[in-house]
């Protein structure tokens, strides 16, 4: 992580008129925590990032969830059942493409240790792991991530969310520059109550020539020898909110991830795996309810527009934060991805020349 880098707001640039949460991170949603395990040694540049929706037993108290596959060039696990049943029953792990099985093993270990009845007197469990291909910087064929590394990320979860070239983001590339993990949050008011929407992104997509920084094209300011000829990357967006949304509403929210990604310059190319998973902590769904019918709160559809607006620019900010907070990394075969932070003054100068960006 670049020392002192705390995201685009610390460059004096704001994308909209929404208020961010206290830490401007996904952990502003009460109960949500994030942890990383990072491997950084020569050709090994990879890691695992864990997101816990709440601190209890997630298999016993599931959360409403949904996913949106914008472009399906991906190898995630657990999304089919999540989409069918509309619930999340394990933490979410992010890692590189070939480490998905190891990460899933760690989630199985956690769920089985907490729930002795799984596979005996109740059903199985649905681990959720999402991935991007970090093979440009990382020796991905070596499969250096083990279930121990994934367990360490789960155990490291806290409200302090580190951004940049950490965890699963260590070996990722974004717009031909150093990508990684980025996060942001927004607070919205619904009938006098403040609710929070938080997001975390794993960025590994985009062509340098397409990069739009807060509405301003900046690619010509950066001369690197490590460009990208095609859109052959991926991005995972994790959205959390304390709004009382059901799975269908969360899927509607997840679709709006494409709005924020497009603002940064993504066009979701053929070889790009672009996925958003959204969950709500506003209420939990018991694995074994006392009664087969129970009451749940529901957000009225008319309240979703405000959430859609906030979510779009939040995703945009999280992507830019993943760039700003990443340091330059050299990995496999001497491949290098440069931090966008070295062009900070040039970018700020160009943005200032275009005036303040209007609120959406």
Q: What are phi and psi of 185, to 5 degrees?
A: -150, 165
Q: Is 274 a catalytic residue?
A: yes
Query: How, if at all, do strands 234-241 and 273-280 pair?
Result: parallel
172 in Cβ contact with 47 (< 8 Å): no
DSSP string of 107-120, one letter each residue: HHHHHHHH-TTBTT
Would you state the structure tokens that stand for residue 331, as one six-digit string?
């990995």
Q: Is 272 a catalytic residue?
A: yes
94 Cβ partners below 8 Å, 6+ apart? 48, 49, 50, 51, 129, 130, 131, 132, 167, 168, 202, 236, 238
Q: How far apart are CA 16 and CA 294, in angstroms?
A: 39
Q: Identify the H or E element spanning 260.
A: helix 257-264
Q: How far apart are CA 186 and CA 18, in angstroms?
A: 6
In a 3-state reduction of DSSP, which class is residue 147?
helix
302 Cβ partners below 8 Å, 6+ apart? none
Neighbours of 86 (CB within 10 A): 19
Active-site residue, from 25, 274, 322, 341? 274
In a 3-state reduction of DSSP, which class is residue 338?
coil
Active-site residue, from 173, 234, 258, 326? 234
159 in Cβ contact with 42 (< 8 Å): no
312 Cβ partners below 8 Å, 6+ apart? 256, 259, 260, 263, 360
Q: Is 333 a catalytic residue?
A: no
Q: Identify the H or E element spanning 348.
A: helix 344-353
| Residue owning tokens 């990684």 | 180
Task: Give 19's DSSP letter.
Answer: B
| Residue owning tokens 């929706």 | 53
Q: What are phi and psi of 142, to 5 degrees?
A: -70, -15
Active-site residue, from 241, 272, 280, 341? 272
What residues act catalytically?
A: 234, 272, 274
């Amino acid at each position: 992580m670049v020392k002192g880098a705390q995201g685009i707001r610390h460059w004096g640039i704001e994308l909209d008129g929404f208020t961010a949460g206290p830490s401007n991170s996904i952990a502003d949603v009460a109960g949500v925590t994030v942890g990383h395990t990072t491997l950084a040694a020569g050709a090994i540049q990879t890691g695992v990032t864990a997101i816990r929706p709440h601190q209890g037993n997630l298999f016993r108290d599931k959360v409403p969830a949904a996913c949106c596959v914008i472009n399906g060039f991906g190898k995630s696990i657990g999304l089919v059942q999540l989409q069918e049943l509309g619930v999340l029953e394990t933490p979410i792990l992010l890692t590189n493409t070939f480490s998905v099985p190891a990460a899933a093993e760690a989630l199985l270990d956690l769920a089985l240790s907490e729930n002795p009845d799984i596979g005996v007197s109740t059903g199985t469990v649905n681990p959720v792991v999402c991935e991007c291909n970090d093979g440009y910087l990382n020796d991905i064929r070596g499969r250096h991530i083990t279930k121990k590394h994934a367990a360490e990320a789960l155990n490291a979860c806290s409200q302090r969310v580190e951004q940049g070239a950490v965890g699963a983001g260590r070996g990722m590339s974004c717009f031909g520059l150093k990508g990684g993990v980025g996060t942001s949050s927004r607070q919205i008011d619904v009938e006098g109550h403040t609710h929070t929407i938080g997001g975390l992104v794993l960025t590994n997509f985009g062509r340098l020539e397409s990069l739009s920084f807060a509405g301003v094209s900046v690619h010509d300011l950066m001369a690197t020898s490590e460009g990208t000829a095609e859109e052959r990357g991926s991005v995972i967006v994790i959205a959390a909110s304390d709004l009382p949304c059901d799975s269908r509403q969360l899927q509607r929210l997840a679709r709006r991830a494409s709005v924020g990604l497009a603002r940064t310059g993504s066009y979701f190319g053929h070889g790009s795996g672009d996925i958003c998973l959204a969950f709500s902590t506003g209420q939990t769904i018991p694995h074994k309810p006392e009664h087969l019918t129970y009451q749940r709160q529901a957000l009225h559809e008319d309240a979703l527009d405000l959430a859609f607006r906030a979510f779009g620019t939040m995703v945009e900010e999280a992507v830019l934060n993943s760039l700003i907070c990443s340091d330059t990394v050299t990995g496999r075969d001497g491949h290098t991805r440069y931090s966008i932070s070295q062009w900070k003054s040039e970018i700020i100068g160009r943005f200032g020349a275009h005036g303040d960006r209007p609120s959406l």
